[in-house]
Amino acid sequence: MRLRRRRRPLPVSIILPPRWRRQGAILLTILAVAAVVVCERSGLTPLTTPRQTALPDSADRDDLDRYHDRTFRVVHVVDGDTLDIDAPDHGKPKTRIRLWGIDTPEVAHGGQPDRYFGPEAKAFAEKMLDGKDVHVVLSPKRTRDKYGRLLAYVLLERGGTMFNEMLIEGGRAYADTRFRHSYEKRFEDAEKRARQSGVGLWTNVKPEDMPKWRQRSEERDRKKRGSQPATTDAP
């Protein structure tokens, strides 16, 4: 049976985070598994991690088939980290995407007011994404959140700038440390640079302005620093 031509893969720097590329033996195993699946599923190339050698479950495989390494049009921006693309999703006319690994401040909804810097983050997302084509990259470890939204890294163009990271670099989003993902260290480093530079929300943000999960994280960090012994320069 003749196989259909596979799409040209994304650059390794986008699909595989740096720590994967350093582990040659693991990468060879991944490629071997992918080759078998290509033969069986005519074009699907699942990704994996050193911690997860099993193939994705059926729901995740379906998402990888339908969305991974594909380009879609953004039809609506909900807020800074949530958007809709022009792809049907199980009876719905469009697919809702939640940007992986970040959290932007909330905008007013359900009777709740805007959170600090929420409108600014949404306005930036609208300017950069609304009505434009974006390239979607998924993680094989998890493709949906508990609300059924597609978890994705969104690139402004194939192989180009990752919008998730752009939001953090500009101080318009927090690096979300609640969940493990491929770019967590990279996002945390980007946040540190934004915070040190005082850009975006880091100019005037107060602890009470932060999301609840981040307030708890900041409090844990303060307690940890307070428990460390004082240092001295004395010999």
Residue whose C-alpha is closest to residue 18's, from 53, 56, 49: 49
Q: What is the dihedral of CA 113, 118, 120, 126, to 10 degrees?
A: -100
The answer to whether 142 is a known catalytic residue is no
Query: Which pLDDT score, from 0 to 100, does residue 141 have?
Result: 85
Query: Which pLDDT score, from 0 to 100, does residue 58 have?
Result: 85
Please tell me the distance from the alpha carbon of residue 101 to that of residue 184, in angstroms, as a whole number.
Answer: 7
Point out the catalytic residue in the list 61, 98, 158, 172.
98
How many percent of the chain have pLDDT more than 70?
73
**Which residues, given as ranges, of the chain have pLDDT below 50?**
13, 20-21, 29, 32-33, 35-54, 230-235
Report the predicted TM-score, pTM, of the whole model to 2 decimal places: 0.73
Point out the catalytic residue in the list 61, 106, 186, 191.
106
Point out the catalytic residue in the list 149, 158, 186, 214.
149
CATH value of 57-222 in 2.40.50.90, 1.10.10.10, 3.40.50.300, 3.40.50.2300: 2.40.50.90
Q: What are 108-127's pLDDT values in tens digits?
A: 999 999 999 999 999 999 99
H helical segments located in 22-105: 24-41, 58-67
The answer to whether 96 is a known catalytic residue is no
Query: Which pLDDT score, from 0 to 100, does residue 114 have?
Result: 96
Query: Which pLDDT score, from 0 to 100, does residue 14 have?
Result: 56
The answer to whether 149 is a known catalytic residue is yes
H helical segments located in 70-111: none
Query: Which pLDDT score, from 0 to 100, does residue 162 have?
Result: 98
